[in-house]
Amino acid sequence: MVASKDINWLNVAILTVPPLAAIYGIATTQARLETLLWAVAYYFWTGLSITAGYHRYWSHRSYDCSFPMKVFLALGGAGAMEGSIRWWSRGHRAHHRYTDSPKDPYDSSRGLLYSHIGWMVIKEDPSKMGRVDISDLNRDELVMWQHKNYLWLGPLMAFLFPAIVAYIGWGDFWGGLFFAGMARLVFVHHATFCVNSLAHYLGEASYDDRRTPRDHFITALVTLGEGYHNFHHEFPSDYRNAVFFWQYDPTKWLIFIASLVGLTYNLKMFPENEVAKGRIQMQEKKIAELKQKLNWGKPLEQLPEWEWTKFVSACEKDKKQYLVVDKVVYDCDGFMDEHPGGRGFLKTSIGRDVSASFNGAIYFHSNAARNLATQMRVAKIVGEIPENDKAKEE
């Protein structure tokens, strides 16, 4: 049970008042098309200000930004009511440095609900806060101005600004407040929170599976492109979250398009060679896990070593149905009647080295045949095999 003194009541209000106000507004205020379109536009402005601004620019410095673009993102970020740039970026840098540990502000090991909103509701223990370097943010005049003025700037941009735009534009102050202000804010909040929660539970570990971040299209759709989170945690300085053209990442698109007109520049991309390495290593790991579930026969290094004379003795004296391919002894006793080429052909191969005929002199056996043969391994031959015991093409 969480004590009242451990609850951040300001954040509780920020998380509960907007949805309640939005419900009231939806029930009492006529929705106008202009207002709804403005709400959608403002959702993208404020949402992308978090993903492109707070996250990829100020937290990770994955690209450089012109001053007008910084102002655009700083004001939009304030309208998302998720704290100042300085506060948000400090927490996010700690998240990357201490992922999945008690020093991670959104520690996913504490459960989906905690990583979604619980971390905002429960006060953070100062003694457990992960240390990070934010000296660059402290030197940024715009960041510090926004941080010092956030208590009035946040509510202004989140609620009053969208209402005033709707009022001046088409005379719909209350619609602007409820739809573009309150309701829009609820969607922005939970879209961002899904990066801390859903992106650590849903999807594939495409580049590293030692920690919880995952890649998934659904999360990307919900979070304005932040859903390829496994890639992001592996390559946090990359301005992209999505590296393939078919992946949804409007944040990347905004940063790239802005670069075409000089608003952003020095876009950082991790070397493709290293990105591909991580992807291939995870694919190899998954293949290895699948292979472990299959019976590949006794490994060659574990087979007993036989001289050729022992093989001949087993076939002639013990009447074993053995043959040799590439110096490996196979027991065909249970396969004589199953051989696709017929029992007769296989019978003539017993007691002989049939490597040449098996590998193409008569018939080049398929991959399936070779896989099946792994179940029949008995031993491996050491030393020379007499030429007259090697099967010839017939």
Taking only the tens place, the pLDDT of each residue in 7-31 is 999 999 999 999 999 999 999 999 9
**Which span out of 79-83, 332-336, 359-363, 369-373 was modeled with the highest average pLDDT?**
79-83
CA distance 49 to 78: 9
pLDDT of the residue at 125: 81
Domains in the chain with CATH codes: 4-283 (no CATH), 300-389 (3.10.120.10)
Length of the chain in terms of residues written:
394
Q: What is the mean pLDDT of residues 241-248?
A: 94
Q: Dihedral, CA atoms, 233, 235, 237, 240, nearest 10 degrees?
A: -90
Q: What is the mean pLDDT of residues 260-284?
A: 97
Q: What is the mean pLDDT of residues 266-277?
A: 96
User: Model confidence over 117-132: pLDDT tens digits?
Assistant: 999 998 888 778 889 9
pLDDT of the residue at 360: 82
Q: Which residue has the higher pLDDT, 350 or 127?
A: 350
Residue where the block lists tokens 């840098």: 93
Residue at 22: amino acid letter: A
Query: Which residue from 365, 366, 359, 368 is spatially nearest to 391, judged by alpha carbons?
Result: 359
What is the pLDDT confidence band of residue 1, given thresholds at 50, 70 and 90? Answer: low
pLDDT of the residue at 392: 65
pLDDT of the residue at 115: 95
In the chain, the percentage of residues whose pLDDT exceeds 90 is: 85
Residue 393 has pLDDT above 60, yes or no: no
Q: Where are the alpha helices (DSSP H) in 29-105?
A: 33-48, 67-79, 85-97
Burial class (CB in 10 A: 0-12, 13-18, 19+), 77: buried
What is the pLDDT confidence band of residue 223, given thresholds at 50, 70 and 90? Answer: very high
User: Model confidence over 361-381: pLDDT tens digits?
Assistant: 778 888 999 999 999 999 999
- To the question of pTM greater than 0.75 for the whole model, the response is yes
Residues sharing a CB contact under 8 Å with residue 246, sequence separation 6 or more, in sequence order = none
Percent helix, percent strand, percent coil in the chain, to nearest 5:
60, 5, 35
Q: What is the mean pLDDT of residues 271-283?
A: 96
Residue 66 has pLDDT above 90, yes or no: yes
**Mean model confidence pLDDT for the chain:** 94
What is the pLDDT confidence band of residue 337, given thresholds at 50, 70 and 90? Answer: confident
User: Model confidence over 169-202: pLDDT tens digits?
Assistant: 999 999 999 999 999 999 999 999 999 999 999 9
